[in-house]
C-alpha cells in the first residue's frame, strides 16, 4: 500500500474482474457501514481531475469511508480493453463496488460521479441493492447533448494546442483522446430524465449554475420523492479545463465529504478488518503489467515483456500534472508497444501528481523542483535493487527537464529522450505559475494566432483573456532580448551563469558515455530554448558526443497526433535496443522476466 494525503490513510491496488481499482482506506481497519465508489469524468476533464479524485478519495478514507476509484474500459490504463458500449462502463462501476465490499467489509455503498461519471454512477446505483446515497457532480444528463458539446469543444482545444483540424482522429474525440465508438453510439439514446433510476435514494447534486439541464434533473428527482440536496460546483472550470493549471475545488470536496459522512453517521456497525488484496499483476498477450508502489507513496505500473530483448528499462515521467497514462494516454500506448519489441518499462506518478501522494513537507507546486529529483531517486533505487541498471528516462516538457537533470547526476541513467523541453536550467527568479500560464508559445505562434480570423472573432466576443495573452507575450519578448544581449554582459549576467550550468551538465552526460535524444515539434518553443544555449543554428549541440536532435513535423507541444507519437516511440525503441539483453557468456539473449513476489491476480 502507499500513503495517502492524510495521516493514517493509505491506497492499495485491488484486482477487479477486468483491470484494477485503487482503494483508499484507513491503514489499520476496513469500513464502518458505507463505502464509496467514485466514477470519473472522461477526456480532458478526466486528465484534469485525476488528482482531485485522489484527494477526494483520500479525504473520504480519512473520515472512515473506504473509497475505490477505477478506469473505464477503453480509457487510461484500460485503453486496450474493448468497451462493448456504455453498459461496459456501468459494469465496471458495479465490478468496483463488489470489490470494495469484499475487501473493506462495508455493507452499504454510495456512488459518486463527476461529468459523464455522474451518469455512470446514477445507472450503476439503479442496479445495486445496497445503495445508501448518490452524488451527482456536474452531471451529464443527456448523452446526445454531451456528444454535441464535445464536438463544439474539440476545435477550440485543437486551436489552443496549435493543431490542424485534419489531425483529429475519426469518431468522437478531443485532445487526441478517442471515445470508444460503441460508447458514443449508446450515449445518443441515454437521458437520465427518462431512465429508470434507483428509488428515492438520498442524493447530493453539485451543480453548475450555467447548466439548467442539471437543475431540471434534480427538480424531477425531488418531485418523484427523492431526498435531494443541492450545492453549487464552485470553481468547476478552473478545476477541469487543464491538467497542469487545475485549481483544487477544496470547498466542493469538503461539502461532498461531509454529506457522504452524514450517511454513515448513524451506523452502529463495528469496523471490520481490511482484507489484504495482495499484489496485482495483469496478464496480457505477450506481457504482464504489474502495479508498483515505491517509497510508500509513489504509484506506477511496470510492463514486463514475455521475453526481454533489451537490458534497458524505459521510465516514463510526468509532463506537468498529466498523470502516468500521459497526454491522450500516450505513455500507456508507448509502454505496451515497446513490450512487443521485448523492452521493459515503467510509468509512474511523481509526488502530488495523479495517483501519488506528496512527500511530507513538499509544497503544492512541485514542477521544476528538487522534490521531483528525490522521487526519481526513490524509483531508481528500487529498480537497481531488482537488477535494473540500464535506465532510459523519457519525459516531455517539465518531464524532459526532470529527465535531463537526473541523467546529468545519476550514472544509472544511460540515456534520456527529452521531448519539447521548455527549460534546461531553471532560473530561480522565474515565477513558475506565471510561466505555466504563459504556455508553450513561440513568437511565430503568437503572430499566426493574432492574424487568424478565429482569434479576432474570439477577441471581439471577449472569449480571450487579453491580459494573460499580453503577459505571456511580454515574457517571451523579454527572454528573446536577454538571449541576444547575454554575450555582451559577461560573467556577471545571470543568463551566462545559467548557460554555464547547462553546459556543465551536458559535459557530465557526455563524459560518462550516456546519450541525450532531443525531440522537438516543428516550431515548438523547445527549439528556441535549445537556440538559447547552443546557438541559433544549434551548432553547439555537436560539441557533445551522444547528443542528437529530431524535429517532428505536424505536431503540437503535447505530441497529440498519432503519427507524431509513432515517431517518438520509434526513437525510444531505437535508444532502448542499443542495450541488448545478454547471457552469462555475453551473447545476445532473450530472457524471461522475473516476477518476484508477484502472482497474477486478474486477466486483461
What is the SS3 assignment for 307?
A: coil
Least confident of 33-47, 409-423, 436-450: 436-450
- The values of phi and psi at residue 414, to 5°, are -90, -20
Q: What is the 3-state secondary structure (H, E, C) of 280-328?
A: CEEEECCEEEEEEEECCCEEEEEEEECCECECCEEEECCCCCCCCCCHH
- The per-residue DSSP string of 173-228 comes to EETTEEPPHHHHHHHTT-BTTTS---TT--EEEEE-TT-HHHHHHHHHHHHTT--E
Has residue 188 got a pLDDT over 60? yes
Question: What is the pTM for the complete model shown?
Answer: 0.89
Do 244 and 565 touch, CB atoms closer than 8 A? no
Q: Which residue has the cell 547528443?
A: 547
Alpha-carbon gap, residue 331 to 176, rounded angstroms: 13
Q: Which residues pair with 133 in a beta bridge?
A: 110
How many CB atoms are located within 10 Å of the residue 157 CB?
Answer: 20
Q: Give the residue among 273, 294, 72, 335 at the shortest CA–CA distance from 180.
A: 72
Supply the CATH classification number for the domain 281-576: 3.40.50.1820
Backbone dihedral region for residue 93 (phi beyond 0: left; psi -120 to 50: alpha; all else: beta):
alpha
Q: Average pLDDT in the 300-314 region?
A: 97
Bridge-based pairing state of the strands 287-294 and 298-305: antiparallel
Alpha-carbon gap, residue 604 to 594, rounded angstroms: 19
For 106-122, how does the pLDDT look when each residue is reduced to its tens digit (9 = 90+)? 999 999 999 999 999 99
Backbone dihedral region for residue 320 (phi beyond 0: left; psi -120 to 50: alpha; all else: beta):
left
For 440-453, how does the pLDDT look when each residue is reduced to its tens digit (9 = 90+)? 755 455 455 545 55
Confidence at residue 594, expressed as pLDDT on a 0 to 100 scale: 43
> Where does the pLDDT of residue 385 fall: very low under 50, low under 70, confident under 90, or very high at 90 and above?
very high
Alpha-carbon gap, residue 288 to 239, rounded angstroms: 34
Q: Give the residue among 285, 395, 288, 283 at the shortest CA–CA distance from 347.
A: 395
> Where does the pLDDT of residue 30 fall: very low under 50, low under 70, confident under 90, or very high at 90 and above?
low
Has residue 457 got a pLDDT over 90? no
Q: Which residues pair with 288 in a beta bridge?
A: 283, 304
Angle at 124 between CA 58 and CA 63, to 5 degrees: 20
**How many alpha carbons lie under 13 Å from residue 287 in its C-beta half-sphere?**
22
For 200-217, how does the pLDDT look when each residue is reduced to its tens digit (9 = 90+)? 789 999 999 999 999 999
For 68-114, how does the pLDDT look when each residue is reduced to its tens digit (9 = 90+)? 999 999 999 999 888 889 999 999 999 999 999 999 999 999 999 99
Hey, CA dihedral for 447, 453, 455, 461, is it positive or negative?
positive
Q: Do domains 8-264 and 281-576 have the same CATH topology?
A: yes
Do 363 and 372 touch, CB atoms closer than 8 A? no
Do 104 and 272 touch, CB atoms closer than 8 A? yes
Least confident of 224-228, 539-543, 565-569: 224-228
| CA distances, 434 to each of 241, 263, 321, 563 (Å) | 17, 42, 16, 32
Q: Give the residue among 554, 319, 349, 560 at the shortest CA–CA distance from 436.
A: 319
CA 448 vs. chain centroid, Å, equals 30
> Where does the pLDDT of residue 309 fall: very low under 50, low under 70, confident under 90, or very high at 90 and above?
very high
What are the structural domain ranges in the chain?
Answer: 8-264, 281-576
Under CATH, domain 8-264 is a member of which superfamily?
Answer: Alpha/Beta hydrolase fold, catalytic domain (3.40.50.1820)
For 311-344, how does the pLDDT look when each residue is reduced to its tens digit (9 = 90+)? 999 999 999 999 999 999 999 999 999 999 999 9
Q: Average pLDDT in the 552-581 region?
A: 96
Has residue 270 got a pLDDT over 90? no
Over pLDDT 70: what percentage of the chain? 84
Has residue 584 got a pLDDT over 50? no
User: Helix 116-125 crosses helix 86-104 at what angle (to 10 degrees)?
Assistant: 60
Amino acid at each position: 500500500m502507499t500513503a495517502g494525503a492524510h495521516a493514517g490513510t493509505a491506497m492499495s491496488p485491488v484486482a477487479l474482474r477486468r483491470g484494477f481499482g485503487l482503494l483508499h482506506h484507513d491503514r489499520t481497519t476496513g469500513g464502518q457501514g458505507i463505502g464509496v465508489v467514485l466514477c470519473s469524468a472522461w477526456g480532458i476533464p478526466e486528465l484534469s481531475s485525476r488528482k482531485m479524485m485522489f484527494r477526494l478519495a483520500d479525504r473520504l478514507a480519512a473520515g472512515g469511508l473506504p473509497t475505490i476509484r477505477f478506469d473505464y474500459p477503453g480509457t487510461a490504463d484500460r485503453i486496450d480493453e474493448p468497451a462493448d458500449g456504455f453498459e461496459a462502463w456501468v459494469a465496471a462501476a458495479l465490478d468496483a463496488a463488489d470489490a470494495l465490499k469484499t475487501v473493506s467489509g462495508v455493507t452499504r455503498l454510495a456512488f459518486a460521479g463527476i461529468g459523464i461519471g455522474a451518469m455512470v454512477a446514477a445507472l450503476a446505483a439503479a442496479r445495486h441493492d445496497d445503495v445508501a446515497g448518490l452524488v451527482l457532480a456536474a452531471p451529464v444528463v443527456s448523452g446526445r447533448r454531451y456528444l454535441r458539446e464535445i464536438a463544439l469543444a474539440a476545435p477550440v482545444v485543437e486551436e489552443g494546442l496549435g493543431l490542424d483540424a485534419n489531425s483529429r482522429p475519426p469518431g468522437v474525440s478531443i485532445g487526441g483522446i478517442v471515445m470508444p465508438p460503441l460508447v458514443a453510439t449508446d450515449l445518443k439514446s441515454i437521458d437520465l430524465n427518462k431512465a429508470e433510476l434507483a428509488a428515492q435514494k438520498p442524493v447530493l447534486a453539485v451543480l453548475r449554475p450555467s447548466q439548467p439541464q442539471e437543475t431540471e434533473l434534480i427538480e424531477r428527482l425531488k418531485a418523484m420523492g427523492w431526498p435531494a440536496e443541492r450545492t453549487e460546483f464552485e470553481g468547476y472550470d478552473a478545476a477541469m479545463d487543464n491538467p497542469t493549471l487545475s485549481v483544487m475545488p477544496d470547498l466542493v470536496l469538503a461539502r461532498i465529504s461531509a454529506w457522504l459522512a452524514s450517511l454513515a453517521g448513524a451506523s452502529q456497525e463495528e469496523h471490520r478488518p481490511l482484507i489484504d488484496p495482495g499484489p496485482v499483476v495483469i496478464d496480457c498477450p505477450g506481457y504482464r503489467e504489474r502495479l508498483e508502489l515505491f517509497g510508500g507513496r509513489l504509484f506506477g505500473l511496470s510492463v514486463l515483456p514475455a521475453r526481454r530483448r533489451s537490458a534497458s528499462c524505459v521510465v516514463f515521467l510526468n509532463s506537468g500534472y498529466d498523470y502516468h497514462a500521459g497526454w491522450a494516454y500516450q505513455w500507456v500506448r508507448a509502454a505496451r508497444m515497446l513490450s512487443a519489441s521485448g523492452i521493459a518499462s515503467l510509468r509512474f506518478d511523481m509526488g502530488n501528481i495523479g495517483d501519488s501522494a506528496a512527500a511530507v513537507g513538499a509544497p503544492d507546486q512541485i514542477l521544476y523542483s528538487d522534490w521531483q529529483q528525490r522521487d526519481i531517486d526513490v524509483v531508481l533505487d528500487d529498480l537497481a535493487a531488482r537488477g535494473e541498471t540500464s535506465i532510459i528516462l523519457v519525459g516531455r516538457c517539465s518531464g524532459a527537464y526532470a529527465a535531463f537533470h537526473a541523467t546529468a547526476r545519476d550514472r544509472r541513467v544511460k540515456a534520456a529522450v527529452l521531448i519539447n523541453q521548455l527549460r534546461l536550467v531553471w532560473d530561480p527568479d522565474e515565477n513558475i505559475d506565471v510561466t505555466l500560464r504563459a504556455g508553450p508559445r513561440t513568437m511565430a505562434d503568437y503572430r499566426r494566432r493574432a492574424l487568424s480570423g478565429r482569434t479576432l472573432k474570439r477577441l471581439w466576443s471577449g472569449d480571450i483573456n487579453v491580459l494573460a495573452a499580453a503577459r505571456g507575450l511580454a515574457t517571451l519578448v523579454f527572454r528573446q532580448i536577454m538571449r541576444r544581449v547575454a554575450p555582451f554582459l559577461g560573467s556577471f549576467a545571470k543568463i551566462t551563469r545559467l548557460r554555464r550550468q547547462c553546459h556543465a551538465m551536458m559535459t557530465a552526460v557526455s563524459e560518462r558515455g550516456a546519450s541525450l535524444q532531443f525531440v522537438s515539434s516543428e516550431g515548438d518553443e523547445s527549439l528556441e530554448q535549445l537556440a538559447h544555449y547552443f546557438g541559433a543554428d544549434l551548432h553547439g549541440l555537436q560539441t557533445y558526443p551522444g547528443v542528437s536532435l529530431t524535429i517532428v513535423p505536424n505536431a503540437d507541444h503535447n505530441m497529440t497526433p498519432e503519427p507524431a507519437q509513432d515517431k517518438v516511440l520509434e526513437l525510444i525503441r531505437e535508444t532502448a535496443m542499443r542495450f541488448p539483453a545478454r547471457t552469462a557468456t555475453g551473447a545476445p539473449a532473450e530472457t524471461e522476466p522475473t516476477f518476484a513476489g508477484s502472482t497474477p491476480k486478474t486477466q486483461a
